[in-house]
Structure 1
């Protein structure tokens, strides 16, 4: 692979929370080989040179909670679509994420090994895709998309859709093992009610403790993490006690939850962008009205939960959970979080914190020697202001993933 040398770069050190001006960054074989004022002297004669012209050169962004196959915000309808049709539209979702500077995303239900392999091969342009396959749910849980009058489940691991129902420890173990067989990089459990499901309540807890612990045991055997969808403190605390790695959303957590997060060194992945987006345009995008009304049960509480978790020192990763046409609002998470967090804290959540959650902390999230060459070149003072993320089509000038330029403007 041809070497690339970035010159005159203002490198963002996300660990130190500081710029390092006047740097050259040498990229070869998909990795960062050197970061130094004179790194350009190490480049081969035929290296491609990119003049950063004093702009910010920073790590590619991570989104720890996406649904790349959610081409509509109606999971019941999505489950009736042909996987081939969903994949065609998923390509646009992935391309949009790259254009917004995301080089690694963690799917929370729907994506599979085929999409991940196509991206790795370069057949399908997109961010590096971490996938769980199907999210696991109890009967009547957050991934059970049957209405109250429906009896036939009609789901399988290969169909389009969010999740799969399993009840009891043996079914849980079998489901987890089958997902691990396909190469899942993590497991996803629905441990409370949710907005997008037709028959459960936001304040319900889901799965018995022995089922949760069985899933954690299977994940630990495979050395992969477990993410859990949860809203209320009761559901969150049960999941943390059972050993789950991260809690997604967490809008209704309380101080007891914060204390558990810290004591167990677990992760919270707030997804403020999706609730704002669903409130604004969920109906227009195709979300059923009864489910749209459930958005308001958690909308305002999300900011309070972020504030409590941030003050308490919880590991907070960046996530968005957007659906359908609302994927375009992925970077609005920056402006929403900026009401509580400093820009550098949000950047860390989308780089080094997410990398640690993914167990890739020695591979992604930093502009440092030996790391994957996932880089974005940005106009603006991203260290002190979130304004640049409001206009990615003009502020993000280049996106590189594994040493290959994916976007150039």
Structure 2
């Protein structure tokens, strides 16, 4: 598309609860060049959308594209070449659901990001943390409790979500290495989690000095730190050390939520992962202990999603689904719409997601100068958010950077 004019589009980006009047917009050289009523610009192509709903390309702020098994340890031990092919297929499915950008929160490396940016595979734009930083006995230490052998044989594998580092020197080196390898931001495991065997939720694993060292190095490179966090004490502790984005946040107390709003701390709730695991039970591959932990945070996650919205905390869209559970990626929309207005659930995957990514004005909006990522939706998601769920069946047009990745428009 050199210059294409799209006419009669109703743009829904989540900033308003109301369906707007139709407008025209112009795409030129991969970016939006103009958005206005009744554009007089003529292009190489003109597409009359006849009042159809158009949305910015969706953004998922928490994926693990290279963790191809629900058993994260198994994924970490698979050959990287095999993982690369499976990750490519996973990302293509994400793109076909309308997600034109995803933020990988542990696993994907600079090579996979380069394969996407150079066009070797059709995939969402990939923003990565590299390997998430964890510590001995913490989240992503998947060794059984009485095994103390080295994890070096799998930490650099593409299928590994994280790497272990202990002490000031190791965490600084690990942070530098991930950024050197292509990380756009740093992810730390600053709390226990659902999936790994030795780290209960509320497990204050990294020391304050270690967290501060990671933040110092990341900021020195001009980027930020996001942290895996559930427990209220762990959240405050991490914010004290300088982290800027909370991943999950299910057990944040009201005072902490107010603090996050006041200090501009972002959050990425991931309700769908607990919902899917809860419904599948043992078939999800999660251990009995993990299932118990999942239930302890599932309903609290939805409640906090509502409270984050009411407090004005910027909350990005996140799915956090490993292996085949990734098929439920879009169900997060429906879950959020149970507790917040539909337009706010949409905004989490557009404007607010761009804020989480620090890519405001470039992603998540249809405005002059932004990258021309957009989708056409059959129906009005403000009235029926289920049109965004499934595998993209009700998304006939997906455009990324001005290039149509899917086009089944019947116009």
TM-score category of the 2 structures, normalised to the smaller one:
over 0.9
* Local SS of the residue matching 1:56: strand
Q: Does 1:220 align with 2:219?
A: yes
Indicate how the Cα distance of structure 1 residues 86 and 287 shifts in structure 2: closer, same or farther if over 3 A, else same: farther
Q: Which runs of 5+ in 1 are unaligned?
A: none
* Local SS of the residue matching 1:263: helix
Indicate how the Cα distance of structure 1 residues 13 and 107 shifts in structure 2: closer, same or farther if over 3 A, else same: closer
Aligned to 1:348: 347
State the alpha-carbon separation in 2 of the partners of residues 300 and 18 from structure 1: 29
Aligned to 1:240: 239
Q: Does 1:117 align with 2:122?
A: no
Residue 3 of structure 1 and its aligned partner are, at CA, apart by 2.4
Q: For 1:21-49, what per-residue CA distance to the aligned partner results, in whole angstroms no more than 9, with x for missing partners?
A: 3322211111011112333x4233xx233
User: CA contact under 8 A between 1:342 and 1:384: conserved in structure 2?
Assistant: no
Q: For 1:228-283, what per-residue CA distance to the aligned partner results, in whole angstroms no more than 9, with x for missing partners?
A: 00111011110111111111111111112112202211011110000011112253
Residue 84 of structure 1 and its aligned partner are, at CA, apart by 0.9
User: CA contact under 8 A between 2:68 and 2:159: conserved in structure 1?
Assistant: no
Aligned to 2:387: 388
Residue 2 of structure 1 and its aligned partner are, at CA, apart by 2.7
Which deviates the most, 54-63 or 383-392? 383-392
Aligned to 1:401: 400
Which deviates the most, 18-27 or 356-365? 18-27
Which deviates the most, 254-263 or 365-374? 254-263
Residue 310 of structure 1 and its aligned partner are, at CA, apart by 2.2
State the alpha-carbon separation in 2 of the partners of residues 227 and 398 from structure 1: 33
Residue 87 of structure 1 and its aligned partner are, at CA, apart by 1.2
Indicate how the Cα distance of structure 1 residues 159 and 386 shifts in structure 2: closer, same or farther if over 3 A, else same: closer
State the alpha-carbon separation in 2 of the partners of residues 163 and 6 from structure 1: 43
* Local SS of the residue matching 1:54: strand
Residue 14 of structure 1 and its aligned partner are, at CA, apart by 3.8
User: CA contact under 8 A between 2:93 and 2:391: conserved in structure 1?
Assistant: no
* Local SS of the residue matching 2:283: helix
Which deviates the most, 75-84 or 279-288? 279-288
Residue 392 of structure 1 and its aligned partner are, at CA, apart by 4.9
State the alpha-carbon separation in 2 of the partners of residues 76 and 166 from structure 1: 17
Within-5 A mapping of 1:6-405: 6-39=6-39, 41-44=40-43, 47-155=44-152, 156-281=155-280, 283-405=282-404
User: CA contact under 8 A between 1:27 and 1:33: conserved in structure 2?
Assistant: yes
Which deviates the most, 12-21 or 320-329? 12-21
User: CA contact under 8 A between 2:376 and 2:398: conserved in structure 1?
Assistant: yes
Indicate how the Cα distance of structure 1 residues 37 and 305 shifts in structure 2: closer, same or farther if over 3 A, else same: closer
Residue 289 of structure 1 and its aligned partner are, at CA, apart by 3.9
Residue 312 of structure 1 and its aligned partner are, at CA, apart by 2.0
State the alpha-carbon separation in 2 of the partners of residues 198 and 172 from structure 1: 22
* Local SS of the residue matching 1:123: coil
Q: TM-score, normalised by structure 1?
A: 0.95
Cα RMSD for the two superposed structures: 1.6
State the alpha-carbon separation in 1 of the partners of residues 65 and 196 from structure 2: 18
